[in-house]
Structure 1
Amino acid sequence: MTTVVGLDPSLTAAGIAILGSPGTTDTPNVPKLVTVGVSGSESATLAERSTRIGDQFERIIRSMPSSVRLVVIEQLPFTAPKFAAKYQERCALYYRVTEFLARRKIPVVEVGATTLKKYATGDGRADKREVVNAMRDLWPHAKVRNDNEADALALATIGAMHLGWHEPELMQHFSPNVNWTGLNR
């Protein structure tokens, strides 16, 4: 079975959504949603922080099926938030995952947080709860447990629609602002 994965990368709670191709899955096509991660310590040493990044990388990769055809990942913000050290660790995880996928020739497409929110809700400034509710409405058989899984599911749905697996259902689905350069259907 061929799959699309949506990934909301995080060290504490990475959301992963796995959508199977409708031609090879049961009806209804129920996405698999997973959250992986562990809390860190503010006093962690460089070695401990580096190990944590590696451990989370392994959790994320092990959560993906071998049949991945496309990964749609939430893009990192262009400016570091107020917690720069945590942002640097998230960047390290982000690039480690994307490098792993690129070396295996698995296409990875970035989608900005504003685009994700607009796609999910019609509003690029929607809050986390609105995205969760929108994904629960769009995928009524999915068990969306948190905002990380909701974001990942929105990302996977963008990818699945791009591949022609699902028809757009809402106005905001017709032209999400995503750079598909270099990605073949």
Structure 2
Amino acid sequence: MEPRIVCGVDPSLTSTGLAKISGYRILDTSLIKTSGKAEVPYRERSRRITHIAGGIATFCDRADLVVIEGPSFRSVSTSTWERAALFYRALEHFLDAGIPFAVTPPKSAKKWASGAGNAGKEAVMDCLVNVFGDFEAPSFDVSDALALAGMGAHHLGDIAPKGRGRVSALRGVQWQ
């Protein structure tokens, strides 16, 4: 059986990382960069969220599974509402398209990639090379998305990477 297509989404208002894999093969990566300020009108904020969510939907079109990083419920900032809107707008796209998705706690991708939920961005990227081989990532957000996609492929049984903490990192994920 051919490995399924899994997308990883690391949502952000400024730098959304996206990765698409099939088994151990990286099919595509992308980075959606935007900028904004807290004092801009809500109309502009809404358009920005729509733009990012649309980019996520287009990238993940026809995926067999999407793994998206969930909200950090203890995080407090002026953009909390906008980040929540982006997260749920992306989920609506997956639901409307009939694409199964999973929501993972923020530290789970780091734990899956490196064995430690508090691993630094460089450590995550270095550990992912052990799973996928050398790859080009325009940012650490893309490598985080690659870890999320890897989690999905692991859950589906399309890959079986070795390493500490990988199986336990899958336990906290809400598989839909």
User: TM-score scaled by structure 1?
Assistant: 0.84
Gaps of 5+ in 1: 23-27
What is the alpha-carbon distance in structure 1 between the residues aligned to residue 92 and residue 118 of structure 2?
30
What is the alpha-carbon distance in structure 2 between the residues aligned to residue 180 and residue 86 of structure 1?
24
Amino acid at match of 2:31: T
What is aligned with 1:47? 43
Q: Give CA deviations for 1:162-182 in whole Å, capped at 9, x if unaligned.
A: 11111132132233223455x
Q: How many residues align?
A: 173
State the 1:109 CA deviation.
0.7
What is aligned with 2:16? 14
Amino acid at match of 2:44: E
What is the alpha-carbon distance in structure 1 between the residues aligned to residue 116 and residue 153 of structure 2?
21
State the 1:33 CA deviation.
1.3
Q: Give CA deviations for 1:58-90 in whole Å, capped at 9, x if unaligned.
A: 1221222x3211110111011232x2x312101
What is the alpha-carbon distance in structure 2 between the residues aligned to residue 80 and residue 117 of structure 1?
17
What is aligned with 1:80? 75
CA contact (8 A) 1:120 1:134 kept: yes
State the 1:41 CA deviation.
2.6
User: TM-score scaled by structure 2?
Assistant: 0.88
Bigger mean CA deviation after superposition, 105-114 or 127-136: 127-136
Gaps of 5+ in 2: none
Amino acid at match of 1:119: W
Q: Does 1:110 align with 2:103?
A: yes
What is the alpha-carbon distance in structure 1 between the residues aligned to residue 123 and residue 37 of structure 2?
30
CA contact (8 A) 1:70 1:107 kept: yes
Q: Does 1:178 align with 2:162?
A: no
Question: Pairwise mapping of residues 141-152 of structure 1 onto structure 2 (< 5 A)?
Answer: 141-152=134-145
What is aligned with 2:94? 101
What is the alpha-carbon distance in structure 2 between the residues aligned to residue 140 and residue 33 of structure 1?
15
What is the alpha-carbon distance in structure 1 between the residues aligned to residue 158 and residue 59 of structure 2?
22
RMSD value, Cα: 1.9
